[in-house]
Amino acid sequence: MSRHHVHLSTDIATARNVGKRRGRPVIFAVDAAAMHAAGYNFYCTENRVWLVDRVPPEYLVEV
């Protein structure tokens, strides 16, 4: 894939709609607070999409 960041949604409905663009979506909750406390940097784009370089599996829970 050509993406350089993980794209994050702030709610499940948006994540589901974006995920449907490429087939059947799988939605994960990200413990962003723990990631931020561990030093990961998040970026917010002009269209309010949150980005992060990567999300290690220990910060994920399938919804």
Give tens-digit pLDDT for 15-55. Answer: 898 888 888 888 999 999 999 999 999 999 998 889 999 99
If one counts every other C-beta atom within 10 angstroms of the C-beta of residue 21, the result is 7
Q: Residue 15's closest CA among 60, 49, 58?
A: 49
Q: What are phi and psi of 50, to 5 degrees?
A: -90, 140
Order of strands, edge to edge, in the sheet holding 6-8? 6-8, 50-52, 42-44
Domain extent for 22: 6-62
Per the structure, the count of domains in the chain is 1
CATH classification at residue 21: 3.20.170.30
- Asked whether residue 52 is assigned to any structural domain, the reply reads yes
- Asked whether residue 1 is assigned to any structural domain, the reply reads no
Kindly report the pTM of this predicted structure. Answer: 0.80
> Can you give the length of the chain in residues?
63
- Asked whether residue 58 is assigned to any structural domain, the reply reads yes
